Structures are given as C-alpha cells and as structure tokens.
Amino acid sequence: MADFASLSDHFILRMYEFIRHEVLSVASTRLAARQRADGLLQEIDRRGLFYKPIDWPEHHNTRWHPEDDLKLIVLNA
C-alpha cells in the first residue's frame, strides 16, 4: 500500500475523484486504476472521510487484456 498519511484530506479526495473520472474514459480500462483507487480508499476509510464509491464497470473486476480496449471503443462508437 502506498503511504498516503502525509497527504491532506482534500488531496486524497481529489485523487480519488480523478480516478473516478479516469474510469469513465477508455484509457482507464487497466487494472492499475482499480488498484490505485483501492489504496486511496483504504486511506479514506482510515481517516473516516465520506465519499461516493466508484461504480466500477464489470470489466474492471477481471484481468485486463488488450482487446478489451477495442471492444469498448466499438461499443461506445
């Protein structure tokens, strides 16, 4: 887990919101976005902050494959 303890509440929440917007874009179909959000979420919970959970698309719950981006592009066209 990354060390978020030295960061401000405002910055932690802004980072988490950035990932929420990243999830909505085709470029965010990587598992890395989910992993970063999970690390931030642990820190948010530790601090007792309130937040709106990210609604992760189903494809974020499995391992990423390059063809997944192409499927999303076609579906969103």
Q: Can you give the residue ranges of every domain in the chain?
A: 9-76
User: Encoding tokens for residue 34?
Assistant: 């989910």
How sure is the predictor about 73, in pLDDT bands with cuts at 50, 70 and 90? very low
Query: Would the pLDDT of 38 be above 70?
Result: yes
Please give the backbone phi and psi of residue 4, each rounded to the nearest 5 degrees, phi first.
Answer: -105, -5
- The full DSSP string for 20-67 is HHHHHSGGG-SHHHHHHHHHHHHHHHHHT---PPP---GGGGS---HH
Q: pTM to 2 decimals?
A: 0.46
